[in-house]
A and B are shown apart, each in its own frame.
Chain A
Amino acid sequence: MPRPVNWAFAPTVKGPVLSKSTSQPTIGVLALQGDVREHHRMLGHCGAVPVTVRRPEELLAVDGLVIPGGESTTMVKLATAFDLLEPLRKRVADGMPTFGTCAGMIMLADRIRDGIEGQETIGGIDMTVRRNAFGRQVDSFEADVSLEGFHPGESSHPFHAVFIRAPWVEEVGPSCRVIARVASGEAAGRIVAVRQDHLLATAFHPELAGDVRVHDYFVELVKEA
C-alpha cells in the first residue's frame, strides 16, 4: 500500500469571510475538555474575538458560546462540579447564541439516548440525540453533506463533514429546523445539523475540515442577536 507523500494533515483555513459588519463579537469556547483550540482558530478567522470559558464569570462576559467536541459525560461532570451548568442553562434560555459540535450537540439537546445513567444536558434545542449513533471509532468517517437548511431555497456547495464517534438527531420538535442530513451510506437520511432560533448544532466537526462556512454563519448569528 502506498504511503501518503504529503504530511500536511493540518487543515488549511480557506474560503471567503462573509462577515457583513465590522464589529467583533466576543465568542467563548467552553474549555472544560475537548477540541477547544480548533474552534478558537476558526472563530478568529471569522472575525470574532475567541475567549475560553471555564468559570461562571467568564460565561457572563461573552456574546455567544461554542461547545466543542469532546466527551459529553466529562463536560457535564466538570460543568456540574464547577457550578457552571445552571449558569449555562440560564444564558442559553435567555437567548445567548450557542453552537455545539458533536459532544456540544449532545449538550444542547433536550433529550438524549444512550447516555450514561442520569446524564444531564444544558438543553435548549427541542430534539432527541443519540450518542455514538454511528458506532465506534472504526466507524468514524468523512463525507460531504449539503447544508440546505442554512439559507433555505439557496443552493450550497457540499460541505466536507468529519464525523468522529458522532451522534445523530432522532427526532426534532416543530421549532427546530433541519440543516443537514447524511447523504448516502447506511445512515443516509439521518439528521446531522439543526438550528433552533439562536441555537445551532452539528453532529460533525466543521472545526476540523478547514471550511469556515458554519462558523461564519454562527458569527453572523451572534452579531444579529
Chain B
Amino acid sequence: MTEHAQDQATTPAEQPTPAAHTTPVTGTGRVKRGMAEMLKGGVIMDVVTPEQAKIAEDAGAVAVMALERVPADIRVQGGVARMSDPDMIDGIINAVSIPVMAKARIGHFVEAQVLQAIGVDYIDESEVLTPADEAHHIDKWAFTVPFVCGATNLGEALRRLAEGAAMIRSKGEAGTGNVIEATRHMRQLRSEIRRLTTLGEEELFAAAKELRAPYDLVKEVAQAGKLPVVLFTAGGIATPADAAMMMQLGAEGVFVGSGIFKSGDPAKRAAAIVKATTFHDDPDVIAKVSRGLGEAMVGINVSELPESARLATRGW
C-alpha cells in the first residue's frame, strides 16, 4: 500500500507515454483528492446508528460520518472520545450506498489502520475525538484511504496537506450549534489565501516561514488562489441559513454534526440543509426550506466556553 504515493505527482502532461499503462493503480493523490471533488456542493452528516444513516441518505446527504457520539453529547458526557466500534461502522456501511466516513483520533494511526481495514471511504483525523499524540498527526501518505483534516487557518491547512490530507474542513467549534467559529475559520482561510495571491514571488519564502508550511504548497496556493484540495466547512452548522452562509463565504460543501440529530425533526432539517447548500445563493429557496423545521438544537455560546472545553485548539 505504500508504493502508491509516488505516482500521484505524475500528470499526463509530464509523462506523454505512447504505451498504455493499463494496470489499475489505487490510492493515488488523484483518486484521493478526486473523491472529495465528487462531494462538492453536498452535505456530510454525522450519524451514530444505521437508522440515522438511512435518514441522512434519504434526505440527500452525499456521505455520512459514522461516530459513536455526536459532538454535543461528547461535550456533555465528557471522558475520552475514541474511534467507533467497528460493528457499528459495519452496520452503517451495510445500511447505505453513499460513502461512509469515520473519525480517528489525532495522531492515532492504528485507529486509522483499523478504519481502512473495515473499508471506510474517508477518514476524518478529528479534533472532536480526544487527541492521541500531542506532537504528531497521522502520516497520511502511508494509507490508501484518503483523509480529511480540520484547520483554523491556512498554515494549519497546509501542514495537514504536507502530511497527506486530501481534503480540508474548517474546524469551527463542534457540538455547539453556534456558527461563529466556523465563520471565523472560513474567513481566516479565505483571507490568508487572498493575501498570498497578492505577494511577489520573492515574498513567498517569508510567507512560508510565517505560515510554518512547505514553500512549494504556499507557492501553489498563491498561484491558484485556492487550496489544491476541496475545502468544506464544519463545526456549529445548525440551520439551512448557516449552511448557505458558509457556502457564500467560500466553503465547497458542509459537514453537519449535532445540528441534525439533536434537532426536533431530523429528516426534515437534513433535507432542508441539503437544499439550502445547493441553492446557497438563492434567498427565496432558503426561506422556503427554512419554514416549519421544528426546534433547532439548543446551542452554546462559544464565548462562555472555557478554553479547556474548546475542541478547535486541538491539533497544531
Q: Do A and B bind each other?
A: yes
Interface residues of A (CB under 8 A from B): 1-12, 14, 31-38, 54, 69-71, 73-74, 77-78, 81-82, 102-103, 114-116, 131-132, 136-146, 157-158, 160, 162-165, 182-185, 187, 205, 208-211
Residues A34 and B41 in contact in the complex (CB < 8 Å), given A70-B62, A184-B24: yes
Distance (whole angstroms) from the CB of B299 to the closest CB of chain A:
27
State whether the Cβ of B8 lies closer than 8 Å to any Cβ in chain A: yes
Which residues of B approach A to under 8 Å, CB–CB? 2-3, 5-9, 11-13, 17-31, 33-35, 37-42, 57-63, 96-99, 116, 119-122, 141-142, 144-146, 214, 216-217, 220, 224, 228, 271, 274-275, 278-279
Task: Please give, as numbers and ranges, the residues of chain B lying within 8 Å of A164 by CB-CB distance.
Answer: 31, 34-35, 38
20 interchain pairs, CB-CB under 8 A:
A4-B141, A9-B11, A9-B29, A33-B42, A36-B41, A70-B40, A74-B60, A74-B62, A132-B97, A137-B121, A138-B145, A140-B31, A140-B35, A143-B22, A158-B17, A158-B21, A163-B31, A164-B34, A184-B22, A208-B30
Complex contact A211–B12 (CB within 8 A): yes
**CB-contact partner of A14 in B12, B97, B278, under 8 A:** B12
In the assembled complex, the Cα of A131 lies from the Cα of B98 at a distance in Å of 10
Measured between alpha carbons, how far is A187 from B24 in the docked complex, in Å?
9
Q: Name the CB-closest residue of B to A141.
A: B24
Given contacts A138-B145, A139-B26, A160-B12, contact A183 B20 (CB under 8 A): yes
Q: Which residue of A lies closest to B27 (CB)?
A: A138
Complex-state Cα separation, A34 to B43, whole angstroms = 11
Q: Which of A8, A54, A82, A209 has most B Cβ within 10 Å? A: A8
- Taken together as a complex, chains A and B put the C-alpha atoms of A137 and B20 apart, in Å, by 24
Chain A residues within 8 Å of B7, by CB: 142
Known contacts A185-B24, A205-B34; 18 further A-B pairs (Cβ under 8 A): A5-B216, A7-B9, A7-B217, A9-B29, A11-B11, A12-B12, A35-B40, A74-B42, A74-B98, A81-B275, A136-B119, A137-B31, A138-B116, A142-B7, A146-B20, A162-B31, A165-B38, A185-B23
Question: Smallest Cβ distance from A100 to chain B, in angstroms?
Answer: 13
Question: In the bound complex, what is the Cα–Cα distance between A4 and B29 (angstroms)?
Answer: 10
What are the residues of chain A within 8 A of B60 when measuring CB–CB?
Answer: 73-74, 77-78
Assess the A136–B13 pair: CB atoms within 8 A.
no
Q: Say yes or no: A210-B13 contact (C-beta < 8 A), given A74-B60, A140-B35.
A: yes
A5 contact set on B, CB distance < 8 A: 9, 216
Chain A residue contacts of B31, Cβ below 8 A: 137, 140-142, 162-164
Quick check: A78 and B278 within 8 Å, CB to CB?
yes
Could you tell me the distance between the alpha carbons of A33 and B13 in the complex, rounded to whole angstroms? 29
Interface contact B35-A78, CB-CB below 8 Å: no
Contact B38 A136, beta carbon cutoff 8 Å: no
Query: Which A residues touch B119, using CB under 8 A?
Result: 136, 138
Query: A144–B278 contact, CB under 8 A?
Result: no
B192: min CB distance to chain A, Å:
17
Residues of A within 8 A of B12 (CB): 11-12, 14, 160, 209-211
Given known A35-B40, A38-B37, A70-B38, contact A142–B30 (CB-CB < 8 A)? yes
CB <8 Å contact, A137 and B34: no
Chain B nearest CB from A27 CB (Å) reads 19
Q: A71-B42, A165-B121 are in contact. Are A8 and B24 (CB under 8 A)?
A: no
B57's partner among A12, A31, A70, A73 (CB-CB below 8 A) is A73
Among residues of B, the one whose C-beta sits closest to the C-beta of A35 is B37
Tell which of A7, A33, A38, A131 touches B278, judged by Cβ atoms closer than 8 Å. Answer: A33
Contact partner, A144, options B20, B34, B271, Cβ 8 Å: B20
A150 vs chain B, min Cβ distance (A): 15
**Closest residue of B by beta carbon distance from A102:** B38
Q: Is B97 within 8 A of A131, CB to CB?
A: yes
B41 partner residues in chain A, CB cutoff 8 A: 31-34, 36, 70
Residue of A nearest to B145 (CB): A138
The complex places the Cα of A132 from the Cα of B99 at a distance, in Å, of: 10
